[in-house]
């Protein structure tokens, strides 16, 4: 068993004001994605004003936050929020869904691109390549916060998490960091130049692979206590990820067929 490292959840604390590691991780993730997209645009010889790219990311982030919260309310705790609807707006109390956030980010990006008459699928592909940066850093933030920990285990690297009881558990946040962050980024970065002409293909591959990795890690991650195992078989995260894989596969087929007709 490994000792859980005691890391303060905040970097700086001045009175009631805190700069928390979790928020900082996502900030670095968004900045990393932004500059990697700028790099890809330069490599492709596509000229886009920084102001346009900044506003695109603002739309994506807004959609992500709204979608992540709504996704958590609808997918993970609807009965509770029906009884207390005002609590659904209390984002600071925690409760965000990646799957809802993905839908919200796509909608936010689509609306912006439609209004500015710019290539939505091109930007989708470039952002998809860089998204694992934020995902991986976000999982490190989860680990520091000692949240979303794994199931009870006796593996040598299991840890006793604060708030997770006295039994050692899988550090599933680190599994997600490795698969959804490191491995997924390497794969997407290696594919980015090979699938450029197939608009939407990179986005579809990202959706499929994320779904596969998330389903895998969910076998080690503690199910959400208010839901548990659905039908005693799968977690809500696995069910939503199966839908993701099907949607990604459909998108990939459409993308490849469109390329053949071109």
Q: Is the pLDDT reported for residue 142 higher than 70?
A: yes
pLDDT tier at 119 (50, 70, 90 boundaries)?
very high
**Global pTM exceeds 0.95:** no
Q: Tens digit of pLDDT for each residue in 208-219?
A: 999 999 999 999
Residue 259 confidence (pLDDT): 65
Q: Tens digit of pLDDT for each residue in 90-109?
A: 776 678 899 999 999 999 99
Q: Say which range, 174-183, 190-199, 212-221, has the weakest mean pLDDT.
A: 190-199
What spatial distance separates the first Cα and last Cα of the chain, rounded to whole Å? Answer: 56
Q: Is the pLDDT reported for residue 262 higher than 60?
A: no
Pick the residue with more confidence: 170 or 193?
Answer: 170
CA-to-CA dists, residue 152 to 4, 143, 159, 175, 220, angstroms = 14, 16, 9, 15, 9
Nearest by Cα to 207 from 230, 175, 180: 180
User: Where in the chain are the domains?
Assistant: 10-48+118-261
Residue 177 confidence (pLDDT): 97
Residue 199 confidence (pLDDT): 84
Best-predicted range by mean pLDDT (58-67, 77-86, 252-261): 58-67
Residue 116 confidence (pLDDT): 93
Q: CA 74, CA 215: separation in Å to the nearest integer?
A: 20
pLDDT tier at 235 (50, 70, 90 boundaries)?
very high
Q: Is the pLDDT reported for residue 85 higher than 90?
A: no
Return the CA Rg of the chain.
19
Q: CA 170, CA 154: separation in Å to the nearest integer?
A: 8
Q: Is the pLDDT reported for residue 175 higher than 80?
A: yes
Residue 261 confidence (pLDDT): 65
Residue 120 confidence (pLDDT): 94
Chain mean pLDDT for the chain: 91
Are 177 and 139 contacting, i.e. CB atoms less than 8 angstroms apart? yes
Cβ count within 10 A of residue 162: 11
Q: CA 133, CA 3: separation in Å to the nearest integer?
A: 27
């Amino acid at each position: 068993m490994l000792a859980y490292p005691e890391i303060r959840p905040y970097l700086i604390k001045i009175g009631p004001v805190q700069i928390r590691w979790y928020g900082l991780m996502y900030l670095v993730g968004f900045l990393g994605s932004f500059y990697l997209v700028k790099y890809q645009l330069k490599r492709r010889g596509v000229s886009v004003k920084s102001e346009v790219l900044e506003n695109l990311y603002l739309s994506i982030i807004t959609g992500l936050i709204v979608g992540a919260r709504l996704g958590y309310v609808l997918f993970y705790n609807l009965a509770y929020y029906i009884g207390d609807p005002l609590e659904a707006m209390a984002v600071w109390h925690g409760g965000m869904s990646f799957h809802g956030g993905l839908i919200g980010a796509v909608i936010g990006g689509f609306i912006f691109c439609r209004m500015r008459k710019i290539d939505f699928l091109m930007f989708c592909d470039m952002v998809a390549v860089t998204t694992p940066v934020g995902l991986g850093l976000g999982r490190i933030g989860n680990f520091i916060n000692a949240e979303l920990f794994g199931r009870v285990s006796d593996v040598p690297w299991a840890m006793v998490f604060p708030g997770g009881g006295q039994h050692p558990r899988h550090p599933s946040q680190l599994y997600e960091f490795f698969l959804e962050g490191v491995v997924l980024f390497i794969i997407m970065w290696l594919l980015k130049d090979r699938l450029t002409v197939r608009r939407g293909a990179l986005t579809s591959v990202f959706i499929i692979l994320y779904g596969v990795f998330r389903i895998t890690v969910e076998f080690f991650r503690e199910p959400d206590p208010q839901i548990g195992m659905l039908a005693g078989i799968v977690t809500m995260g696995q069910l939503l990820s199966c839908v993701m894989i099907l949607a990604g596969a459909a998108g990939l087929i459409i993308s490849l067929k469109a390329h053949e007709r071109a």
